[in-house]
Amino acid sequence: MYDAIVVGARCAGSPLAMLLARQGHRVLVVDRASFPSDTVSTHYMHQAGVARLQSWGLLDELVAAGTPAARRMSYSHRGVAFSGFADPIDGVDAVYCPRRIVLDEILVNAARRAGAEVLESFTVSDLIWADGAVAGVRGRVGDGPETEFRAPIVIGADGAHSTVAKRVEAPLYNVRPAAGAAYYSYFEGVDSAGLQHHTGTNGRWAGAWPTNGGTLVSVMATKAQIKEFRQDVPGNFQSTVDAILPAIGGQLRDATRTDPFIAMRYPDNFYRQAFGPGWALVGDAGYHKDPLTGWGMSDSFIHAEQLAERVHEGLAGLRPMDEALAEFAKTRDEETAVMYDYTTTVAELGELPPFFQAVLEAVAATDAWTTTMLGWIAGGVDDDAIFSAEGLQALYDDAGLPEDRRVYDPTA
């Protein structure tokens, strides 16, 4: 009998298991993969996410694995451009974009060192129920015999297509259709000069950032363009980068591509009910959004930490488990609402609504507000610093934006 079972051992599951084990709980974490192994990912960790790694004592290990730091971001959306970097967050003055074959093994090993039991190559076939609540999991390692494990809480950290979420029939809400898809690969001989994040005028986007052993270059296209894009991925990839990031496009022609092109076809944006009797969801299993803003891994770290504290409170008898999990769900939804709106809006890769157009134009007008905006993107600046009535007033005043171009209503 375990205190908690975590299904999924990547960016949400292993940190959650590690933190619960550090609190003295007996934790089992299972994953259908074995480690080290790769997975489709943006690779991008914002400073707020990196700060979590630092606080857990894992950042030095990531750096020692040869993960390069980046300390400059260049951003543009259809002609509105700014560049710089956010102020340090909890002392973290850089971002890192690790290969997942590197990062996920670090996280899994950290969970093991903390005392969690990790079972790899384990596929969950079903959940165990008792008295109307989830009471464990049933599954097998490879082709082995079916095995059961029990715990008072089972946590799904198994991605957007979560088996746990499906078995408990966790309802979706605030669903917004996926805007498109991405292709990426890794290159030697490309210098991204930090983080490049640019939306063109043709319904496409291109970005580049340093990672282990080279540079990741990625492009995105809208749904309407994907069928055409797939007809010639190398050619369309090159032409997209040429049009949006011409300096990097030139480098690509002489660079060595070290891996095949990887397609990132993502599901719709959604929130899922975060908990129920004997179960909870974390990471993409409970909250998924377009990868354009690169918040998947950082949110997984932040929410794993928040959920670990709430589950500990329930297991330790400090408060009823359902009350603790309700607080987690409320906090998750409130703290992600503005970034969710921003992400799903800019991911359309089209003309921005008047509100976001006005905000970005004003931000680009001053270095101070550029730093503030990049700080918000990095997770170190509260929503209200920019998006409250007072914040918008100060932003527009400092930028000297004419009254007839000032927009205060986010729905405009």
pLDDT at 364: 95
pLDDT at 78: 87
Is residue 411 scored above 90 in pLDDT? no
Q: What is the mean pLDDT of residues 184-207?
A: 94
C-alpha distance from residue 238 to each of 220, 243, 404 (Å): 12, 9, 40
Q: What is the mean pLDDT of residues 123-151?
A: 97
**Contact between residue 187 and residue 256 where contact means Cβ atoms under 8 Å apart:** yes
Is residue 213 scored above 90 in pLDDT? yes
Q: What is the mean pLDDT of residues 336-352?
A: 94
Find tokens 């890769």 and name the residue.
349
Provide the token pair at 72.
Answer: 């400059």
- Per residue in 270-303, pLDDT tens? 999 999 999 999 999 999 999 999 999 999 999 9
Q: What is the largest CA-CA distance in the chain?
A: 70
Ramachandran region, residue 199 (left: φ > 0; alpha: ψ -120 to 50; beta: rest) = beta
Dihedral of CA 305/307/310/313: which sign?
negative
Q: What is the mean pLDDT of residues 347-373?
A: 95
Is residue 321 scored above 90 in pLDDT? yes
Long-range contacts of 249-252 (CB under 8 A, 24+ apart): 251/187, 251/189, 251/190, 251/191, 252/187, 252/190, 252/217
Find tokens 């670990």 and name the residue.
308
pLDDT at 337: 97
User: Pairing relation of β-strands 4-7 and 27-30?
Assistant: parallel
Above pLDDT 70, what percent of the chain?
100
Measure the CA–CA gap between 63 and 29, rounded to whole angstroms. Answer: 25
Is residue 412 scored above 90 in pLDDT? no
pLDDT at 201: 85
**Contact between residue 119 and residue 93 where contact means Cβ atoms under 8 Å apart:** no
Could you tell me the pLDDT band of residue 20, with boundaries at 50, 70 and 90? Answer: very high
- Per residue in 214-259, pLDDT tens? 999 999 999 999 999 999 999 999 999 999 999 999 999 999 999 9
Measure the CA–CA gap between 277 and 29, rounded to whole angstroms. Answer: 19
Measure the CA–CA gap between 200 and 92, rounded to whole angstroms. Answer: 31
- Per residue in 79-124, pLDDT tens? 899 999 999 999 999 999 999 999 999 999 999 999 999 999 999 9
- Three-class DSSP category at 84: strand
Measure the CA–CA gap between 9 and 37, rounded to whole angstroms. Answer: 11
Long-range contacts of 202-208 (CB under 8 A, 24+ apart): 202/243, 203/349, 203/350, 204/240, 204/243, 204/244, 204/349, 205/244, 205/292, 205/349, 206/240, 206/241, 206/243, 206/244, 206/245, 206/248, 207/245, 208/245, 208/248
Measure the CA–CA gap between 51 and 179, rounded to whole angstroms. Answer: 30
pTM of the complete model: 0.96
Measure the CA–CA gap between 59 and 49, rounded to whole angstroms. Answer: 10
- Per residue in 21-40, pLDDT tens? 999 999 999 999 999 999 99
Measure the CA–CA gap between 115 and 182, rounded to whole angstroms. Answer: 38
pLDDT at 85: 97
Could you tell me the pLDDT band of residue 202, with boundaries at 50, 70 and 90? Answer: confident
Is residue 208 scored above 90 in pLDDT? yes
Measure the CA–CA gap between 363 and 171, rounded to whole angstroms. Answer: 37
Q: What is the mean pLDDT of residues 345-354?
A: 93
In the DSSP assignment, the letter for residue 67 is P
Could you tell me the pLDDT band of residue 182, with boundaries at 50, 70 and 90? Answer: very high
pLDDT at 406: 95
Q: What is the mean pLDDT of residues 384-399?
A: 96
**Contact between residue 374 and residue 72 where contact means Cβ atoms under 8 Å apart:** no
Of the candidates 182, 144, 171, 165, the one whose C-alpha atom is nearest the C-alpha of residue 8 is: 165
